[in-house]
Amino acid sequence: MRIVIFGPPGAGKGTQGVRLAEALDIKHLATGDMLRAEVAAGSELGNLAKQYMDRGDLVPDDVIIGMIRSQLTGGDGMILDGFPRTIAQAQALDEALDGASLPLDSAVYFNVDRDELVVRLLKRASELDRSDDTAETINHRMDVYEEQTAPVLDYYRSAGKVTEIDGTGTMDEVFQRLLQAVQESS
Ligand code: AMP
């Protein structure tokens, strides 16, 4: 099963993605986590990516696609979290999956109001040491989402792949909605 979990920063994709991958016993591929590991390792890719991440900008498509491409087609499937974030990335994913004759089952969209997202991200900033969770970058990341990433939702809508869930409520409530959405789409 191949599922994209999609939504704005702070929508809860990471937490729910890990749980869903465990429940389905498939890989959880999160480009943000992969990039943070590269930054922590001080690799060339990490040093390059950090400049974009700290500003709240997207890391260039060629870097992201190069980093994740080889992992898109192996195994029994995967939960993609934080990828694709641009139309070019969505097209690269389609090409990789089409080339391997593997369909994308669905893109689950977590719907959460922008005001609620900002509150959540500021709370996360006080709990975790993430250098891109400052008030300034949070607003910029929201703008980047609306300009560059929201069009990916329309791309998947046109392909009839989107299942929308309400991303508000407790973690358990959201997880139950996510599980149901995935079961209905497979
Ligand atoms: P995340 O943990 O998914 O919120 O990602 C943190 C940061 O990593 C983002 O704000 C971007 O700077 C970068 N990033 C993660 N995934 C991608 C992606 N698919 N394309 C471009 N940049 C990304």
What residue segments make up the domains of the chain, in order of their start? 2-170
pLDDT value of position 124: 83
Q: Which of the four pLDDT bands, split at 50, 70 and 90, describes residue 39?
A: very high
Residue 78 DSSP one-character state: E
- 179: pLDDT strictly greater than 90: yes
User: Has residue 131 got a pLDDT over 90?
Assistant: no
Q: Per-residue pLDDT averaged across 17-37, rounded?
A: 96
Residue nearest to atom 2 of ligand 1 (CA): 32
Query: What is the Cα–Cα distance from 52 to 180, expressed in whole angstroms?
Result: 35
Q: Mean of the per-residue pLDDT values for the chain?
A: 93
Average pLDDT score over residue span 141-154: 96
Q: Topology of 2-170 in CATH? A: Rossmann fold (3.40.50)
Q: What is the pLDDT of residue 126?
A: 79
The pLDDT value recorded for residue 135 is 82
Q: Once rounded to an integer, what is the mean pLDDT over residues 52-76?
A: 93
Ligand 1 pocket, 137 CB below 6 A? no
> Which pLDDT value is given to residue 52?
97
Q: What global pTM score does this model have?
A: 0.94
How high is the pLDDT of residue 58?
A: 98
Of 4, 16, 29, 31, the residue with max ligand 1 atoms within 8 A of its CB, to mutate for a pocket test, comes to 31
Average pLDDT over residues 127-146: 84
Ligand 1 near 53 CB (within 6 A): yes
Atom of ligand 1 nearest to the CA of 33: 2
Tell whether the model's pLDDT for residue 81 goes beyond 90: yes
- Please, which pLDDT band fits residue 75 given cuts at 50, 70 and 90? confident
Active site residues: 13, 85, 124, 130, 141
pLDDT, mean of residues 128-139: 78
H or E element at residue 164: strand 162-166
Which atom of ligand 1 is least distant from the CA of 84? 19
Question: What residues have CB less than 8 Å from 19, skipping those under 6 apart?
Answer: 175
Ligand 1 centroid–CA 58 distance in Å is 6
- pLDDT score at 182: 93
pLDDT at 106 over 80: yes
Helix (H, G, I), strand (E, B) or coil at 113: coil
